[in-house]
Amino acid sequence: MVTQLSPQRFDLPKIDGWAAGDNRQLSFVVTQDGDPKDITADDIRWQLLERPYHDSDDAVLSGDSEGVEIRREGVVDAEAGEFRVDIGASATGGLWGEFTQRVVVDPPNDTQQTWRGGVVLEDAGATVE
């Protein structure tokens, strides 16, 4: 599923049922006035936070974390506003609970935009009775 990021909406759809220790690909397309926005020169950041308004320094995972990669070329087209966040299984091992993902698109000489949405990482070792 591709999540559309537009200036008119700042909420991301909630991600439920993500088992800790499982890999995930999060696909996004940035739009402006309904059309894909060229993001080749934009700074793109992704973070997983314990609280929605925590500082970037408090992220439990980010694009700088081992096992997390923000892809802007090859499998996506940055000129068409596309990017993908690849999160390896090792990155989420040991994490479980409710988090907030934050996506930041920061174009040069323009206003930064931020989107947030809930993420539930389930304890892979938990059993349901």
Pairing of strands 24-32, 82-87: antiparallel
Q: Sort residue 104 into left (φ over 0), alpha (ψ -120 to 50) or beta.
A: beta
Say whether pLDDT at 20 is over 80.
yes
Instruction: Give the domain CATH number at 86.
Output: 2.60.40.10
Which domain covers residue 55, as residue numbers? 2-122
Whether 127 is covered by a domain: the verdict is: no
| Angle in degrees, CA 11, 74, 38, rounded to 5 | 50
pLDDT at position 75 is: 86
Phi, psi (degrees; rounded to nearest 5) at 42: -80, 145
Strands (E), 6-112: 15-19, 24-32, 35-36, 43-49, 61-62, 68-71, 82-87, 97-106
Whether 129 is covered by a domain: the verdict is: no
Given the structure tokens 């060229």, which residue do they identify?
A: 38
pLDDT at position 118 is: 96
Given the structure tokens 């690909």, which residue do they identify?
A: 25
pLDDT at position 99 is: 96
Number of domains comprising the chain: 1
Q: Give the chain's mean pLDDT.
A: 91
| Mean pLDDT, rounded, for 2-23 | 92
Tell me how far the alpha carbon of residue 121 is from its chain's centroid.
Answer: 14
Q: Is the pTM of this model over 0.85?
A: yes
pLDDT tens digit sequence for 66-117: 999 999 998 899 999 999 999 999 999 889 999 999 999 999 988 899 999 9
